[in-house]
Amino acid sequence: MDKQNHNPKKMTTMALKIVPVLIIVAFLGTTTYSIISDNTENKQDFNIENYLENEGSQLSQTLSKAKTNGDSATLALAKRKILKQLLLQTLNSAHYEPIEVDDDFSKRAYKLYLKNLDNNKRYFTKGDIDKLDEYKLTLDDHFRDQNFEFYQITQDIFQKRLQDTKVFMKEILAEPFDFAKKESVELDGDKVDYPENEEALKERWRQLLKYQTLLRLDGLVSAEEDSTKQTISVGSKEFNELEEKAREQLLKSQTDFFRRMIKLDEKEWFSMYINALTSAFDPHTSYFPPQDKENFDISMSGQFEGIGATLQERDGNIRVERIVTGSASWKQGELESGDVILKVAQGEEQPVDVVGFRLSDAVELIRGKKGTEVRLTVRKIDGTTKVIPIIRDVVILEETYAKSTVIENEEGKRIGYIRLPSFYADFSGQSGGRSCSEDVKQELIKLKDENIDGIVLDLRNNGGGSLSDVVDMAGLFIEKGPIVQIKSRNRSPMVLSDKDPSVVYDGPLTIMVNGSSASASEIMAAAMQDYKRAIVVGTSATFGKGTVQQIIDFDRYLNAPQHAELKPMGALKITTQKFYRINGDATQLKGVVPDIIFPSEFSYIDFGEKEVDYALPWDGISRAKYKEYAAVNIKKLRASSEARMNDNEVFRMMEEAAKRLKQRYEATEYTLNFEDYRKKQKQLKKESEKYEQMKSQKHDLKIHTLKADIEYIESDESRKARTEQWHKDLQKDIQIYETLMIMSDLI
């Protein structure tokens, strides 16, 4: 194969015989769109069909006997043994960088499994952990031997603790809490040890339940004070009545939680164990049991209705990772990346506490039909709590596409601004579908008719998408040449190139990125930076996800009659390739560092791929052959920009806010004294409001709708209103303001 002329849309089928198609999926568990390749360039030693055929006789006998005897336990055990073997063999033969299944692997899997089960250390005691530690170095042997002893012992202990803590919970919530007492609770599981014994475990639950009651009580007291216009003091009759009401509400919520946990299908507990084994290879390699595979397929289609937020279960919390452009959350405007969801309510109904919930259970509560309301109680990164009402809706598709406008800055420069929310493409195979590269091309043509002085391409919060569209889009700004390198296991790098010598736009170009710009966005920004074709501006670095995943659906290989009883088996998402810039550097972990860095309120908070357990390492390969464009004086541009930002009150305040935010983010110990809690919340809200007010001030920018778009926008009142709001938001965006000033210097 000619590596230089490789077409990403025409990948060949290899040993696993998987359809050669590129699909891009937004996962609920990550902030990025993953680039998923349904093929692999690996020559694999393991073939699923051959394995099943070789094992067929023994497997057939086992299944036949189990079916005849109606022995569901034997059948389930056979399925699990086959699943483990399929996973192990596929991981070893197809993973981009497989690790040895040895004692180090066992330590990784052990850590991940305990973290999945009890990250906040509210179920296991030290005595329990001492028993489980005996297995810390045996999970590799269990994986190879299809041994389930550790899993079963863990389940026995955990299920007992679930019953124990259910009793604790009812006993604790039967008595009033003393909210005048000076005490606190640590909510970061990494900062506490496992309780010494059952008494210490009960005390841990007392603190946690008191904190959750405090959150409810604060809301009830605030509502009553707003209604009566009178202050309610701790210990008063009114306070005690509201405290009792808060405990009653929490008791109902916790009872529902334990009922859900205890009734959880055993298959779900088992998949949690299996995923500890797969995630020990890397965080993007995971097993989808049949039900999760179904949800995965729904997320691919994007047809379900809801709030439009990508969520992740992290450190025992349900955390917002990304807001989908055009979604209900995007329209409402208050839910943000980094928010931790504490409670979920259906309209005016009592909220359900989701702290400690599995992600899938929380998602079930949050999802819903168009037009219904969900109320999320969230803890902001600055420590404040807020109730956010969202009317569920489908995504406004129009808002997910590229759009542009002309922005005139203080110096009279007319800059074309293009917003690209994702690298979308139509993978249905039908003609007429939208392509982001073609859409951006059309926006460039329209902007050139506006006599613009330069172009800004905004990739902030763009989680990635279509690989082929990255190549095509980069080609709009350069003559033909390499755009990205992709490396498969044990093979030479494959260079994906733009082969079209035509250039749609050859003028000044700036690309905006931030910490949520990932995957395909990083490829685009990196290529333009390496060619010195564009200035890249933004926060300290992009997300740093530089890997490709492949979906292997095991049911595809269970075609023989004797294998029918094994279905459904689920699927494996496995990392099979890695991205590299054309200069040879990986985007993995390090991401793309902008030429000019903007202050951000998140500047001092670690974020991105590097924060995930067992992410693949950064490395480099040989540089591709390409010719750089004439270099601009980056040092001079950077110096001018830094001088302006140092003189800008909003940027100065942003730097101060970033330092305060880091302190609050790391302060995971919360007071359980009612008055101290309210005092702290008021202080945090006051500081937050002051910063938000400063951040929302308008800048001297004139926004012009493109002549080619006026008739289309004016023909629909909803579209017109959204465009007007977009223009107002642009005028308040300090990073866009500074980017336009950089463009003036560049021009």
3-state secondary structure of 670: strand
C-alpha to C-alpha distance for 60 and 109, rounded to whole angstroms: 31
Output the CA torsion 404→410→413→419 (10° steps).
-20
Q: Whose CA is closest to 477, among 421, 524, 537?
A: 524
pLDDT for res 620? 96
| pLDDT class of 527 with cuts at 50, 70, 90 | very high
- What are the beta bridge partners of residue 484? 496
C-alpha to C-alpha distance for 702 and 129, rounded to whole angstroms: 63
C-alpha to C-alpha distance for 518 and 416, rounded to whole angstroms: 23
- Whether residue 131 contacts residue 161, with contact meaning beta carbons closer than 8 Å, is answered with no
Strands 22-26 and 481-488: unpaired
| pLDDT class of 247 with cuts at 50, 70, 90 | very high
C-alpha to C-alpha distance for 239 and 678, rounded to whole angstroms: 14
Delimiting residues of CATH 3.90.226.10 domain(s) in the chain: 402-645+699-746
Chain Cα centroid distance, residue 287: 17
Tokens of 742: 């950089």
Please report, in angstroms and rounded to a whole number, the separation of the first and last CA atoms in the chain.
43
Q: Which residue has better confidence, 13 or 521?
A: 521
Strand stretches in 296-430, DSSP E: 309-314, 317-323, 340-346, 352-353, 373-379, 385-391, 403-408, 414-419
Fold type of domain 303-391? Pdz3 Domain (2.30.42)
| 15-19: Cβ within 8 A, 24+ apart | 15/40, 15/42, 15/43, 15/44, 15/47, 16/40, 16/44, 16/47, 16/48, 16/94, 16/552, 18/550, 18/552, 18/556
Cis, peptide link before residue 195, omega less than 30° from 0: no
On the CB side of 320, CA atoms within 13 Å amount to 25
Fold type of domain 402-645+699-746? 2-enoyl-CoA Hydratase; Chain A, domain 1 (3.90.226)
| Residue 675 pLDDT exceeds 50 | yes
* CB-CB neighbours of 222 under 10 Å: 13
State how far the alpha carbon of 396 is from the alpha carbons of 262, 324, 391, 400, in Å.
39, 10, 14, 7
- What are the beta bridge partners of residue 497? 482
| Residue 407 pLDDT exceeds 90 | yes
3-state secondary structure of 490: coil
DSSP string, 595-663: SEEPP-TTTTS--SGGGSTTPPPP-B-PPP---PPPPP-HHHHHHHHHHHHHT-HHHHHHHHHHHHHHH
Tokens of 625: 């052959």
Which tens digit of pLDDT belongs to each residue from 709-740? Answer: 999 999 989 889 889 999 999 999 999 999 99
| Residue 541 pLDDT exceeds 60 | yes
pLDDT for res 315? 62
| pLDDT class of 121 with cuts at 50, 70, 90 | very high
In degrees, to the nearest 5, what angle opens at C-alpha 338 toward C-alphas 191 and 425?
A: 135
pLDDT for res 354? 85
| Residue 303 pLDDT exceeds 60 | no
Q: Which residue has better confidence, 173 or 412?
A: 173
pLDDT for res 331? 82
Which tens digit of pLDDT belongs to each residue from 224-239? Answer: 998 899 999 999 999 9
pLDDT for res 738? 96
C-alpha to C-alpha distance for 329 and 308, rounded to whole angstroms: 6
**Helix crossing, 634-646 with 649-666: angle to 10°?**
80
pLDDT for res 47? 60
Tokens of 697: 């001030």
Tokens of 108: 């990784």
pLDDT for res 428? 56
pLDDT for res 558? 73
Q: What is the mean pLDDT of residues 507-534?
A: 96
3-state secondary structure of 89: helix
Residues 6+ positions from 145 with CB-CB distance below 8 Å: none
| Residue 367 pLDDT exceeds 90 | no
C-alpha to C-alpha distance for 178 and 243, rounded to whole angstroms: 10
C-alpha to C-alpha distance for 632 and 730, rounded to whole angstroms: 27
Q: Which residue has better confidence, 453 or 652?
A: 453
pLDDT for res 689? 82
Strands 414-419 and 454-458: parallel
* CB-CB neighbours of 673 under 10 Å: 18
C-alpha to C-alpha distance for 458 and 594, rounded to whole angstroms: 13
pLDDT for res 170? 96
Mean pLDDT of the chain: 85
pLDDT for res 574? 94
Give the number of residues written for the chain: 747
How big is the chain by its Cα radius of gyration, in Å? 27
pLDDT for res 91? 94
Query: Residue 215 carries which side chain, given as an amino acid letter?
Result: L
Q: What is the mean pLDDT of residues 476-493?
A: 95
Which tens digit of pLDDT belongs to each residue from 148-167? Answer: 999 999 999 999 999 999 99
Tokens of 739: 């980017």
Q: What is the mean pLDDT of residues 686-705?
A: 84
Can you give the pTM of this predicted structure?
A: 0.84
Delimiting residues of CATH 2.30.42.10 domain(s) in the chain: 303-391
State how far the alpha carbon of 82 is from the alpha carbons of 15, 426, 551, 614, in Å.
20, 36, 18, 26
Chain Cα centroid distance, residue 127: 35
Query: Residue 231 carries which side chain, given as an amino acid letter?
Result: T
| pLDDT class of 327 with cuts at 50, 70, 90 | confident
Query: Residue 704 carries which side chain, given as an amino acid letter?
Result: H
pLDDT for res 132? 97
DSSP string, 430-489: -TT---HHHHHHHHHHHHHTTT-SEEEEE-TT---B-HHHHHHHHTTTSSSEEEEEEEET
pLDDT for res 293? 47
The per-residue b/e assignment along 123-161, b for 16 or more CB within 10 angstroms, e otherwise, is bbbeebbeebeebbebbbbbbeeeebebbeebbebbbeb
| Residue 632 pLDDT exceeds 80 | yes
Average the pLDDT over each of 103-112, 419-428, 476-485, 503-512 and give the range with the smallest value.
419-428
C-alpha to C-alpha distance for 324 and 271, rounded to whole angstroms: 28
Q: What is the mean pLDDT of residues 50-71?
A: 64
Which tens digit of pLDDT belongs to each residue from 392-404? Answer: 887 767 788 999 9
C-alpha to C-alpha distance for 461 and 566, rounded to whole angstroms: 41
State how far the alpha carbon of 338 is from the alpha carbons of 311, 353, 407, in Å.
10, 18, 30
| Residue 118 pLDDT exceeds 80 | yes
| pLDDT class of 45 with cuts at 50, 70, 90 | very low
Burial class (CB in 10 A: 0-12, 13-18, 19+), 46: middle
Residues 6+ positions from 86 with CB-CB distance below 8 Å: 48, 51, 554, 569, 572
Q: pLDDT over 70 for what percent of the chain?
A: 87
State how far the alpha carbon of 560 is from the alpha carbons of 17, 45, 525, 572, in Å.
16, 22, 48, 21
In degrees, to the nearest 5, what angle opens at C-alpha 464 toward C-alphas 460 and 467?
A: 135
Q: What is the mean pLDDT of residues 453-460?
A: 97
Q: Which helix (H) or strand (E) holds 495?
A: strand 494-498
C-alpha to C-alpha distance for 594 and 539, rounded to whole angstroms: 7
